[in-house]
Structure 1
Amino acid sequence: MTALEPRDAEVTPPTDDRDDDRGSDVVSDGQGVLGKAHRALSVGIVSVVLLIAFEATAVGTAMPVAARELHGIPLYAFAFSAYFTTSLFAMVLSGQWADRYGPLRPLATGIAAFGAGLLLSGTAGTMWLFIIGRAVQGLGGGLVIVALYVVVSRAYPERLRPSIMAAFAASWVIPSVVGPLAAGTVTEHLGWRWVFIGIPALVVFPLALALPAIRRMASGPADPAGPPQPFDGRRIRLALGISLGAGLLQYAAQDLGWLSLLPAAAGAALLVPAALGLLPRGTYRAARGLPSVVLLRGIAAGSFIAAESFVPLMLVTQRGLSPTMAGLSLAVGGATWALGSYVQSRPRLEAYREGLMVTGMVMVAAAIATAPSVLIPSVPVWIVGVAWGVGCFGMGMVIASTSVLLLKLSAPGEAGANSAALQISDGLSNVLLL
């Protein structure tokens, strides 16, 4: 696959020189991701990822205190799964929107919804209102993440995509270290609400930097010569079905009684056919090529993120750690995640990408298996930090590699739909496992 050529005549058209191993693409000349041609775009979209990363690390630290104050510990999983449930629908919508009209509008709309959801959660007086705010965040997050993949597909040649994916991962380092500390300090001294209310102020910078560059380099439909294609109503209906089905299953899982069988059955009836219709054919049996890439992404992300969501709660409620210390126990993971993503981006390792993914999955499994050992009082809590550092290194290799392979296996006009399928696998497994 080759990326679509930029519309701006001053921007160097993409070329495929994957075998050129003359140094790092990240800081190289005008052909690198920080060269003259791509500098503004790279800084802008990485800033968007930085915002999402800061929200994820900060909110995860404040969540146990928010749930306790709002008397919502029994609904704790909903605070996470509501985000992923609504994002499932938004991902499909964003993929079609971006393929037909360009990624600019879904990205701008998504950032606005993301900020609005944070404000709603930060001002919530009940746990259910807090969860609704998280659902609005999910709509924004789903729109943003797929639109960003389409931007990468259109604006960057294939040889630069591993580097920009590594830059996405690197943008998690500072939030992973600063986010838990800042969120824990704010939660303890000012209250958890300020963690949510303060983050939307960061929206202005990514908007000002990214949107003009995206308009110049990656705007418009996938086929500029032809008329925009209408939205696929069937896929939109399937997206709504997968979101409603996932929500019903999550609701049933919170109350394991006989009456829960009714929403569980309704959820499965909606979810299964919708998932089969939205994911590449053969995903459930790991068919060769794109289906197996999409399936592996869901297995990796769902298992790791679901486990990580409960680690701060476990450390606060079972080991007596403060929110700050519980968040910091996972801080090293941001650096090792970025390191793993950097490793996979090296041109010399391109031929070993499948081996890197296998190694990464083994590291992820080991981290998840080790974390619950801290429930034994004699096991030191720093074991979680070490285990999560190892697991995040593996995730850095796996997540970036699946993204690179997906774009490589996608035709230009299918980048949005296939990116949506990748994110649906990611989000759906998060919802079900949470």
Structure 2
Amino acid sequence: MKRETNKKIVTIGIFIATFMTAIEGTIVTTAMPTIVGLLHGMEIMNWVFSIYLLTNAMMTPIYGKLADKVGRKPVFIAGILMFVLGSALCGFSNSMLTLIISRAIQGIGAGAIMPVALTIIADMYDFEQRTKILGLNNAAWGISSVLGPLAGGFIVDTIGWHWIFFINVPIGIGLIFLIQYFLVEEKREKNAKKMDFVGSISLMLTLVSLLLGFQILGDNGVTIQVVILLLLTILFTALFVFAEKRAEDPVIDLSLFRNTAFMLVNGVAFLISGFLMGLDVYIPMWMQGVLGKSAAIGGLVMAPLSIIWIFGSFLSGRLLIRMTAKKVLAIGLLVIMFGAGALLILPIHSPFWLFFIISGILGLGYGLSITTTTVEAQNSVPQNEMGVATSFNTLSRTIGQTVMVSIFGIVMNVQIARKLPSVGVIDDPDIMNKLINPHTASQIVPVLREKLREILFNGLHLVYFVGLVLVIMAFVFTLLVGKKRESDTL
């Protein structure tokens, strides 16, 4: 008797894998002060987060191509195995440098898990079922953002920070056995075409130089390193295009870039994912720096976004059955636009409970929009390019977050640097750091503190003005997409 895929068990496995990689981003945040205290190296602390995102993004399109070429199952298992290896090495790390290297390995594994998981879902379920399953899968991200900080704090306080990484090892090994046994994949015909190594390497170099350039730009402004990295990005991009035109089996078929629906929907994912970073980074800063609330309140006001996102994902699945994806995406973007506009018009002394409401509104919009962009990116390409299309959608979101968090940082820093001299602060560059830390804000003279809060508030308004422009651009992109199929495409 021919074995068949056990959809329920494989789907549960995908949910667990998604949750495992999603929570890794939030659980580390809580543990980082303890880790820095024990391993030292505060000056390179940010690389613990950055290197994970960098290697993740770098490998995502390569895994997408491999999933189409050799199959979803071996690539997914290889990604989990690499993630488990990286997690174990993180747990054994005895210095900040070894932790950063181990996080790089962990990110290489994570780069396979998310896009290939979404591709497996697309393989197993038809359009109507897929929207519901994607809604459930997106719930893993929402739950992880709420549970991650709590779990991180509990683990650090009880069994030690090493276990925020070690806990992934038994889970990952269990997932490997589960996927190996219950996911049955038809044997693919052996593809005689050579792997596009030149295209793959040039694409990875393009992404590394681009993301690294924008990260340094956000940290230090325009420097010679930034200029060199962005010039290298242009050079590697040209090499990538040259290689793809001549490759037997290109890592990304350049015809995808001529697929208007595909490019526009990924443009939407890029823009709204970029704005999401403005919410994650700057709403807590608003709570602490402008309203003088604790860090706990700063994080708590973001909880409705994560929780309502889950509801929005489920709702998108229901709406996609009844109306075109274009309409669902437009509704989601209008909701996000409303939330962004609300942030833009809030006065400086707004009560913090208003942010809970705005956060929930934004969560609804994101739940509708992100799920729809994923479904539409998959629907706009042939079945044999599903892996590449899904990974490209994931990559678009990652690049959007990396690029826009740097741009938001520049907007904020320029505004602060321009306004500080007007309140008599010239030789204290650390003054704004004192302001946004509830423990040190009280050390600032009250009159000056109020002036600094106004400067920070104006900077936040500029950030959210840029964010609103991003969402409006995303809405325009949605309107530009033609109706390709009658029922399930934009």
Structure 1 and Structure 2 fold alike (TM over 0.5): yes
Q: In the alignment, is the contact (CA less than 8 A) between 2:325 and 2:376 conserved in 1? A: no
1:269 aligns with 2:234: yes
2:208 is aligned to 244
**Matched-pair identity in %:** 21
Which of 97, 108, 125 is the matching residue for 1:156? 125
Deviation per CA, 1:245-283: give whole Å up to 9, x if none.
Answer: 124404532333643344344443346547877777699
Select the residue among 386, 394, 397 that pairs with 1:415: 386
SS at match of 2:260: coil
Aligned to 2:449: none
Match of 2:420 in 1: none
In 1, the alpha carbon distance for the partners of 2:80 and 2:283 equals 28
Number of equivalent positions: 395
Match of 1:3 in 2: none
Question: What is the alpha-carbon distance in structure 1 between the residues aligned to residue 163 and residue 232 of structure 2?
Answer: 35
Q: Deviations over 1:286-307 (max 9, x none)?
A: 9731111121112122331464
The partner residue of 1:427 within 386, 394, 398 is 398
Which shows bigger deviation, 185-194 or 174-183? 185-194
354 and 86 in structure 1: CA distance in 2 versus 1, 3 angstrom threshold: same
Name the counterpart of 2:367: 396
CA contact (8 A) 2:302 2:359 kept: yes
Could you say which residue in structure 2 is the equivalent of 1:58?
27
- The CA deviation at 1:364 is 3.6
Equivalent residue runs for 1:124-273 within 5 Å: 124-187=93-156, 192-214=161-183, 216=184, 218-221=185-188, 224=189, 227=191, 229-250=193-214, 252-253=216-217, 254-256=219-221, 258-270=223-235, 272-273=237-238
Checking the alignment, whether the CA contact within 8 Å between 2:58 and 2:208 is kept in structure 1 is: no
Residues 79 and 130, structure 1, Cα contact 8 Å, conserved in 2: yes
Q: Which residue of 2 aligns with 1:298?
A: 270
- Which amino acid letter does the alignment assign opposite residue 160 of structure 1? Q
- Of Structure 1 and Structure 2, the greater helix share is in 2
Deviation (angstroms), 1:140:
1.0
Give the structure with higher Rg (CA).
2
Partner amino acid, structure 2, of 1:331: A
2:139 partner amino acid: A
Deviations 1:208-267 (A, max 9, x none): 3333222x1x3543xx4x546432224302322223312440453233364334434444
Contact 2:73 2:179 in 1 (8 A): no
1:175 partner amino acid: S
Judge conservation of contact 1:370–1:384 (CA < 8 Å) in 2: no
Q: Structure 1's 410 and 265: CA in aligned 2 closer, same or farther, altered over 3 A?
A: closer
Does the 8 A contact of 1:344 with 1:350 survive in 2?
Answer: no
Structure 1 stretches of 5 or more lacking a match? 1-7, 13-36
Q: Which moved more, 1:299-308 or 1:266-275?
A: 266-275
Which amino acid letter does the alignment assign opposite residue 359 of structure 1? I
Query: RMSD in angstroms over aligned alpha carbons?
Result: 3.7
Aligned pair in 2 of structure 1 residues 270, 362: CA closer, same or farther (>3 Å)?
Answer: farther
For 2:170 and 2:347, the matched residues in 1 are separated by 38
Deviation at 1:86, TM superposition (A): 1.2
Aligned partners of 1:374, 1:65: CA distance in 2, in Å? 36
Q: Whose relative contact order is higher, 1 or 2, with alpha carbons under 8 Å and at least 6 apart?
A: 1
Secondary structure of the structure 1 residue equivalent to 2:63: helix
Residue pair 1:85, 1:246 contacting (<8 A) in 2 also: no
Q: Secondary structure at the match of 2:194?
A: coil
